[in-house]
Structure 1
Amino acid sequence: MTRLIVFGILAAFFFSSTFVLNRAMSLEGGHWAWTASLRYGYMLLLLCTWLLLKGRRGVLIAAWDAFRRNWLFWTTAGSVGCGAFYALISFSASFAPGWVVATTWQITILATPVVLLLFGRRVPARGVLFTAMIFLGIVLVTLEQATAAPLGDILRGVVPVVAAAFAYPLGNQMVWEARHGTSSLLPAITDPVVDDSFGRVLLMVLGSIPFWVVLLIVAAPPPPSPGQLVNTALVAVFSGVIATSLFLHARHCASTTYELAAIDATQSTEVIFSLLGEIVFLHGALPGSSGTAGLVLVVGGLMLYVRAQTAGPLKEMVHSRAEKG
């Protein structure tokens, strides 16, 4: 159990690099459109290279065939779950510190049940109080920022993150629904490559490419600096490869609902790592009393929320084992 928690915290550490490096690129004058699109360009290159080095060329071919057969679906899902999600996150870094973006991003745990409801899925009612704690924490963090920046900048730094928090689970749920053929609005995807985790990620990244091309044409940003090219590559490696691999490995090794909940809860430490990273590397200021209270509420609420969502299943599992014994 301890080893899995360590993996989860390490994953959160590398995930937090996204918020710190995005903020660094923004402060250096890098355009947010390049920050977003370059990451996925690097991810496509890294995924293809990894699969080739592992002798899994068949996954590349199968993913491309699957993409061609349902190009409209994959373009839509990729544009929402990768494109809109990360473009909004990158945009917000131009107006808000990384730790504020990381804190606001935690609202995705509240957005996920809403997305599930949109697809007609049942959502447990447990944990409502803790979702309120998380929301209050985000409000406190936002209010503290409001005293240090114009209202327009605060809204541009927070609202896009809230929208991104809905776009990310929406894109992923679209893939889940299509994979299981349970939605009348989406095609039933039966390609075997969709059952492969690398195959699914590759299809989502491929689907996002048209979004990035259109974004760069519309935004018409100046050429990226050498520093932005390096930093976006680091984000792709740290967050897209290392963090994702650690997190998925920890979840794969979990054997109980309790362990899964504990691993998911470790992701709340992204907020703390983002704050420390901004202070150490970007000379950011420590949050005041309102911001600190908000951080405590968000992290604590997230951990309690995950526990509440799994308390029922865990109790049922223990009770079932007791009856069998």
Structure 2
Amino acid sequence: MVDKRQFNIVAVGQSGRLSYEAVLLAASLRATNPDFTGRLFIAVPQAGPLWPDDPAIQDPDILALLVQFGAEIIPFENKIFGASYPYGNKIECLTALPDEPFLFVDTDTVFTGPLASVGFDFAKPSASMKREGTWPVLELYGPGYTEIWRALYDRFGLDFESSLDTSQPAEYWKRYLYFNAGWFFHESPQRFGKRFAEYARVIRDDAPPELICQPLSPWLDQVALPLVIHSFGGGRPGDALAGLDGDVTCHWRTMPLFYARESDHAVEVVEQVLAPNPVKKVLKEYLPFKKMVYQGKGRDVRALFDRDDLPRREQMIRNKIKREGLWVR
């Protein structure tokens, strides 16, 4: 099913790194999707008991660029996480949105192609498969993948067996529903956000005993997300969503990794939207953009790698960049 309903896009922004990334995100959306009819929200956490410092975007130049590129600042209040777990922003911001179909993207995302080519079915949520087997972390004599994940599904009254990819062997991490939370979508941010917050809080505060030795920071959002998606009848993304993490969006994560492994087209989009002087004047203050884009060091990183034959593990890419003195974060 292809869902052609109008939808909104939301990313989290706050002072510092995320504010610069938000400008790139907004600029790339307008450059590659000039006919996008939804709204782009930059959700900004507000000062309060859970934030010792005000996290709001204060820089007037950055705010002006966001407005120029059509973004709307939408404030939200942290009631559960805040500074102790900033990844919780992507959970708590959802209920501040109008209750219309939405696509959440991490702020370190660039749009590189037409969203109209993506076959969304907003009634059946999904999320990014651009992930590694980071969780759970198995102990020598502890419970295995099946026991840990089954305990979570049981905790929320969900059917575990129907979540499995049975083409993958038992006790191999890809058999179990696990996403990167770099993008996800649903038809109702109110219902999805409420359940996401509920599941994440229960896992944090009242987890099953099988999780007693499991690290939940920074993985809590990615532990709760597959349970939420499964509870709404969603699952792994099919071919209709291939443009996400493909020809339509790029989750770049860090500028050195972006230049090392992403497509020529993605690099062209980033360099083009960051080139105009009014943008450069503001974004050159962010060191990764300054060094990688404006000083051309990203092209030096790019020359180190063959995109058709990249090292299998990300850490190997990072190490090679660092040995050349080109790493910046």
Higher relative contact order (Cα pairs below 8 Å, separated by 6+ residues): 1
Normalized per residue, the structure richer in helix is: 1
TM-score, normalization by structure 1 = 0.26
Normalized per residue, the structure richer in strand is: 2
TM-score, normalization by structure 2 = 0.26
